[in-house]
Structure 1
Amino acid sequence: MKSTSRDAVLYFSESLVPTARKALCDPLEEVREAAAKTFEQLHSTIGHQALEDILPFLLKQLDDEEVSEFALDGLKQVMAIKSRVVLPYLVPKLTTPPVNTRVLAFLSSVAGDALTRHLGVILPAVMLALKEKLGTPDEQLEMANCQAVILSVEDDTGHRIIIEDLLEATRSPEVGMRQAAAIILNIYCSRSKADYTSHLRSLVSGLIRLFNDSSPVVLEESWDALNAITKVRGLLTPQPTLAYRKFQTWPGTVAQACNPSTLGGRDGWITRSGDRDHPG
């Protein structure tokens, strides 16, 4: 199609669009890759209409068990070559409840820096999705999808948004949202390979604030996140001399995690006299 004139593409677009849609769901990977290049040329020629004609069809195919795997990869193929136009089109559709974190996770891996531009919409959506799955058989799968999204962020601006938005969400009056935010924060601190050193002070301060939360889940996740920073960044210094005890809080009291006998300060950082193992 690269050698085809714009007028010719316009003339044959009515037949090219159905062909591209079908090919993007083809069982053969090389066919899907070729179809993505056709989509690229169609978009260059007919613009936004290519998105309207092809992407909703692919999203609908995700509900068909026979072709959903191929349709998902078809979306990934077009994302890989046109992420700056495809992602803005897909994000509103994927983040409208019920949030499709499965597709968000899959596409995030090829979104590149385009992902950062949409974190302000994506993060609240994945937190909402996780909150709704807490305590259900789907909780672990939802956590895996959240992990795939946040670990796909590559630039410093994106890491700042992740930390700031998740910490802000831990202030929510709704305990489920605080729990979801704390869980994702723990995943981020435990699994991210990014250098977020410039954000450590606000991150550590925010995690320590959570030690006074009334939710045991928030307490445990925030401590695990701080523990992960200890092990990965080496900025906190746990001394394994005391056994770990679960935290308890009551309204108007300070969490046991913040007891002066448990926590101490040094050079602006926090040290703790006891620690517990954290699964890798």
Structure 2
Amino acid sequence: MADKSMDSGSWTGCAVMFLQSLCPDLNLLTRYKDQQGKFIVFKVIKLTLTDSAGGVGGYEILKVHDADPFLGVEVKFVDMTACRQFLESYSSGAVRQFFSQHACRLLAQPQELTVETHLKAGLHTLDQCLDEIEVCLKHVHLSQPERLRDEEIDCLEQQLQSQVLGPSAPQPATNIQEESSLPSNCFKFQNRVFEDRILTPADVQKFSNVVGREWRKVGRTLGKSCRALKSPAIDNLAYEYERDGLYEQAYQMLRRFIEAEGKAAKLSRLVRALEDCKLTRMAENMVDIQPRE
């Protein structure tokens, strides 16, 4: 009997890849901590993931962190096929090969780079079960991301996109060019492109009608990138509008978000927050996707 939780239509999962250069002349962690080297190392990681996952649309880098002596890369997969392709590439050694090729070119390494890798999903070390891709896939799916993308990663992504779009920048010979084809006023959700726009009063009403008690969770998620909703703002809203019911509490929360963020209070941010809170059906409702039979 098929596992409905593995339905690729609403599939997400998270894994952390640990990287360490075995070349004595290249310390990835030190290079990433250097302001000038950070972008180049990030670009190598991005190109490697794009090659191994079959394109830019199936994954998102959430965080790159210090896991001394390794560099840890937290990746959110939003497509089961892309995740399976990445796992197969990792199992075959192709991920290390892609990384080595891009690092040698962009980091000016004179010879082929040897890199040590480890892959984890939650408490599971996937290197121990790579001969069972479906088991690895399940571990990744059960390891849901606990955070939004770091602001640092947002800046690096924007810098990378600017380089790709720049008239003097050489175009990478990978599928990363697909990222620049998405208009700035659009966003991608469930492999479909939607027009991004400022949230409207109709959006606030629709959200408030269906979110129920989950409004606090969504508010805290939005609060990770909106100062007006940071602690203790959510608890204060709940107390202030307790007598008015859940609709009003949700309404006031989203209204505060819009007032604080102005033109940055976009539909894409609300959809991402709902998705991160595992409220996929509600996110679909916000962009008028009809529920699947």
Normalising by structure 2, we get a TM-score of 0.24
Q: Going by fraction, where is helix more abundant, 1 or 2?
A: 1
Which structure has more strand as a fraction of its residues? 2
The TM-score normalised by the length of structure 1 is: 0.25
